[in-house]
Structure formats: C-alpha cells, structure tokens
Structure 1
Amino acid sequence: MLRKIAVLASMGMVVAGTAWAQAKQDFDLVNKTGYTIDQVFVSPSDGDDWEEDVLGQDALGNGQKIHIRFHRAAKTCKWDIKVVYSDGEDAEWEDFNLCETSKIIIKYDRKTEETSAEYE
C-alpha cells in the first residue's frame, strides 16, 4: 500500500486551461510510481483547501505525463500538490516553487513504502 509522505521542496503552480498563454508556473507532472493516479490537486500553499482535480475525468497511468498549465495572471510561486491513486491512497507535497520548476517526477519505492517527488 502507498503511504502518504509530505516532502518539503521549493516549487509552485496555478492551474488553468490550455487556451491560456504559458505562465511561468506551468510544469510537466510525470508518474513513475507503478500505480495509476486518478486525481491531481494543485493549490496555493497559503490556501486552506484544495483546488479542482486537474485531471478531470482522466487518469495518469504509470509512465505517463501531463502538462499542467496556469493562468498567465497567476502571481503565486509556492504551491502544494496532492495526488490520489486508484486504490484511494494519496500523497501530498508542500511549498513547491513552480516559478523555478518545469518538471515534477513522482516515484514510489516499494521496499520503503515511500512516495517521493523529484523536480527540475
């Protein structure tokens, strides 16, 4: 089973539709966990609740990536990310500086049962 782990990092983001011009917070999210991700939430770090699921009706299979776009007027750089797997388990990361990040790779280590995120 996946275990929730909070990883502090410097990243940030705002979600918006594909019609918007590229914002500095836009990034690719890559699933290398070995599991299907059913939901992805991105919310400002200073917020109190999660924004909408950016996947909508879709799922993010193992080895797949999604480009997450932000509204170009978004000013915040610090964002929290939450993923929910097809088995209902979740993982969260806080304080990603998306103004300095173009890719987040989510991984799961079956030996340690830890979920981690690497970023570029």
Structure 2
Amino acid sequence: MRYMFVAALAALSATPVLAEDLVFTLENASSHTLNEMYVSPTEADEWGDNILGDQIVAPGETATVTITGGSEICEFDLRFATAEGGELEQTQDLCGIETYTLND
C-alpha cells in the first residue's frame, strides 16, 4: 500500500503545471477605433495572432482581452491597428493589472 501511495504522489508531482491565462479589460480612451491587437513576449521576433478577432473597440468602449498562458511572462509588446489605418506599438507589464487604458 505504501508503494502505491508513493507512486501516486510521484505521478502527481510529475504532472506539468499549466500557466494561467492573463485576462484584463482593454479600455479605448483614444480617439481611434481599434480593429486589431497583437501581443508577443518582448523577447519574441514575431507577432502573435490578432487577439481581438472580429471585435471592434470604438472610442470610449472596452473589451475583455485574454492572453492564453500569459501570466508566466508579464512583459509584452503590444501592437494596435486602427480602422483609420494607424498603428501604435508599446511595451507593457500586463501582470497584475485589471484594466489597460489606451490613450492618444
């Protein structure tokens, strides 16, 4: 019986810990309509997918943003594309925030 307990404990400790998602509210306090948002860890060479998908965030609106497994990283490069054709890039520590506000 003791060996079964030790084996079960070893199997549990060998199970990988899954990183939690990073979830926050994106507040568009700018005068531009956001139609794309890309994030990547600061050390990455390429952008990820558009995490807004089909969602449009007009001035004064908010959106819930989820970065899958992002709580382990914290420092992200952010790239926003607007409906007017503009782009904005920033670097931000996103861990522990509830709301990220984008201004002009």
The interval holding the TM-score normalised by the smaller chain is 0.7 to 0.9
Q: Deviations over 1:40-79 (max 9, x none)?
A: 1111111011110011122111111111123347521111
Q: Which amino acid aligns with 1:43?
A: S
Alpha-carbon distance in 1 for matches of 2:70, 2:86: 33
Question: 1:1-120 residue pairs with structure 2 within 5 A?
Answer: 23=21, 25-72=22-69, 74-94=71-91, 96-108=92-104
Count of equivalent residues: 85
Distance 1:106 1:99, change over 3 A: same
Quick one: percent identity of the two aligned structures?
A: 21
Q: CA RMSD in A?
A: 1.7
Long gaps (5+) in structure 2: 1-19
Question: What TM-score, normalized to structure 2?
Answer: 0.72
4+ long deviations beyond 2 Å = 70-74
The change in CA–CA distance for 1:97 and 1:87 in structure 2 (over 3 A counts) is same
Can you give the 5+ residue segments of structure 1 that lack an aligned partner in the other structure? Answer: 1-21, 109-120
2:52 and 2:65 in contact (8 A); partners too: no
Say if 1:48 and 1:32 are closer, same or farther in 2 by CA, change over 3 A: same
For residue 95 of structure 2, give the secondary structure of its aligned residue in structure 1.
helix
- Letter of the structure 2 residue corresponding to residue 107 of structure 1: N
* Cα distance between partner residues in 2 of 1:67 and 1:27: 6
- For the pair shown, the structure with the greater C-alpha radius of gyration is 2
1:100–1:83 distance in 2 versus 1, CA, 3 Å = same
Query: TM-score, normalised to structure 1's length?
Result: 0.64
More strand by proportion, 1 or 2?
A: 1
Q: Measured at CA, do residues 83 and 75 of structure 1 come closer, stay the same or move farther in structure 2, by a change above 3 Å?
A: same
